[in-house]
Each structure stands twice: as C-alpha cells, then as structure tokens.
Amino acid sequence: MKKSFFFTTLLVLASIVTFAQVKWNADPAHTSINFGVKHLGLSYVQGHFTKFNGTIETADSTNFQNAKIDFTVDATSISTGVDQRDGHLKTDDFFNVAEYPSLTLKSVSFKKVAGDKYVLLADLTIRNTTKRVTFDVTYNGVIKDPWGLRRAGFTAKATINRLDFGVKYADKLPSGVWAVAPTVDITVNLEAVKQ
C-alpha cells in the first residue's frame, strides 16, 4: 500500500514538473512594445518602450497552448521621438513614472483558436490599476537560428481605454475633440529565445 502511494505521488509530481518546463525570454534586440493614439482627431502619435523583460513558459519547445506569459515594462523608458512630449507622458497627467515606474502583464489564458491565431487573456497593470485585456495573437513560427538557438515569434494586438487605467489627461478642443484620444492601440512584436 505504501509503495503504491509512493509511486502515485511520484507520477503526480512528474506531471507537474513536465508542465511549463520550457522557458523562453524576450529578445530585447528583436522585440518591440508599441502604442498608437490619435492626436487632435487628426493623426496618430506612435511610441514604444525601450526597456522591458518578458518570459514565456511552455510545456514543450513547439506547443504554446496554455503558455504562461509575464512581462514587466519600465515606464520611464517611454519614447515617442519628442523629448518634450516624453517628459509630459512621464508626469501625473499620464504614467506618473515617479510613483508607478512599471507596467506589468500577466497571462490568464493563452488559447489557440485556429491555424496560427491565438487569443491571450491577460491582466494588464498601469498606474497600479489592473484590468483584464484581450490580445489577438498571430504565431509567426519557431526556428533554430544560425547560432543554434531556438526562437519563436508572435505579434499581439489589443486596444484599451487609457482612462480605465487612471491615465487621466482629458484636454479637449472647443469642438469637443480629444487632444489625446482615450483609445490606445497596442502592438507587441515578440521574438523569444528558448533558454
């Protein structure tokens, strides 16, 4: 009886260990976290974050179903190509990086829907406010690169309302058009390297 219990316990432990045993790290040289927001109702301002780290954990090297995804973004690294605007984005009108220096994303689920298409449901935290966000994800494939490393690629897109996260800047033109729209489009181009 004791032997049977012991072997059952070993099997359960082995099954736990085999799940999420493969770790992938985002390659910062080939990964980008981008956003776009409408300005004065006319055009889109594009920006990105230059400092971040991200990990993916999978059951094996080729199957990303139910992957666990975890990203931390340095809010102080925001860049739109205009220093004055970047400075404003770091203030309390927007990200308040002095008080909230990081943005985080943690997966709730990652499910294949068809072909190379997945849906990522994740908890996104901005300014210490967490909301559940849905990303449409395209799996771009997995390869062994010329240096012997295994790499996987994904493109993830979502749209959020920044006001939901306390990003409160709300100036409007006399016509009622937002100076900076509440709706923000997010695109993540990820290249991850198997560890």
> Do the bridges between strand 117-126 and strand 180-194 make them parallel or antiparallel, or are there none, so unpaired?
unpaired
Residue 10 has pLDDT above 50, yes or no: no
Q: 11-15, 68-72, 84-88, 113-117 — which is least confidently predicted?
A: 11-15
Residue 29 has pLDDT above 70, yes or no: yes
At 101-121, the pLDDT tens digits run: 999 999 999 999 999 999 999
Assess contact for 96 and 102: CB atoms under 8 A.
Answer: no
Question: What is the average pLDDT across 162-187?
Answer: 97
Residue in the structure block whose two tokens are 């290249």: 191
Q: Cα–Cα distance between 21 and 54 in angstroms, integer?
A: 16
Q: 4-13, 81-90, 169-178 — which is least confidently predicted?
A: 4-13
Residue 1: what residue type? M
Domains of the chain, first to last:
20-194 (2.40.128.110)
Q: What is the DSSP string of 78-99?
A: EE-S-HHHHHHHTSTTTT-TTT
CA atoms within 13 A on the CB side of 145: 11
Q: Cα–Cα distance between 22 and 58 in angstroms, integer?
A: 5
C-alpha torsion 25→27→30→34, nearest 10 = 70
Q: H or E stretch including 5?
A: helix 2-18
The three-class DSSP label of residue 195 is coil
User: What's the chain's average pLDDT?
Assistant: 92
At 122-148, the pLDDT tens digits run: 999 999 999 999 999 999 999 999 999
At 30-67, the pLDDT tens digits run: 999 999 999 999 999 999 999 999 999 999 888 999 99
Assess contact for 132 and 108: CB atoms under 8 A.
Answer: yes
Assess contact for 137 and 156: CB atoms under 8 A.
Answer: yes
For residue 113, what pLDDT is reported? 96
Report the predicted TM-score, pTM, of the whole model to 2 decimal places: 0.87
Residue 2 has pLDDT above 70, yes or no: no
For residue 3, what pLDDT is reported? 57
For residue 4, what pLDDT is reported? 55
